[in-house]
Structure 1
């Protein structure tokens, strides 16, 4: 059942993201070095920018992993009704 709060309660496979980012980091470092040695400064710079993006992503992933698990309701917890001001007019409750 959809509750309307899926974007705020979505969960991410942080360990998988961590290992995939490490794999990408290894290839970005290798690409930067290989293109620099091959005399391709444009490609080396592109790999360097990718290296920077992956490093920032790894920092975010590690921060989220250190924060630990947050409460996630299980299947036995009924969904909450969305706030009335966020519902489209046709779904708002009017009356007792």
Structure 2
């Protein structure tokens, strides 16, 4: 269903992001460990940075999933209209 307001009512595929974050976390942790054991500090640091990014993304995704259906609506919840602010207060530039 297209409403013309998709960028403001788009739904994030949080379960997909969760899976990709876990996958990246596993690979980055393995890479960090293996490069550390084989004495490649530059590659170990690069994998460590990717590991840190994966942990942050995983925590953000889990936070949004725990916020409930407003942030992760199911297929049975129709798109809601975006909040256009207080109608009594004029917006900037109008």
Q: Tell me the TM-score normalized by structure 1.
A: 0.70
Give 1:57's aligned residue.
57
User: Larger Cα Rg: Structure 1 or Structure 2?
Assistant: 1
Stretches of structure 1 that go unaligned for 5 or more consecutive residues are: 87-96
Where in structure 2 are the equivalents of 1:1-96 lying within 5 Å?
A: 1-3=2-4, 5-70=5-70, 73-74=78-79
Stretches of structure 2 that go unaligned for 5 or more consecutive residues are: 85-89
Q: Tell me the TM-score normalized by structure 2.
A: 0.71
**1:7 & 1:14 partners in 2: Cα distance?**
16
**Aligned-residue offset at 1:2:** 4.7
Runs (4+) off by over 6 Å: none
Larger fraction in helix: 1
Give 2:87's aligned residue.
none
Aligned residue pairs, count: 80
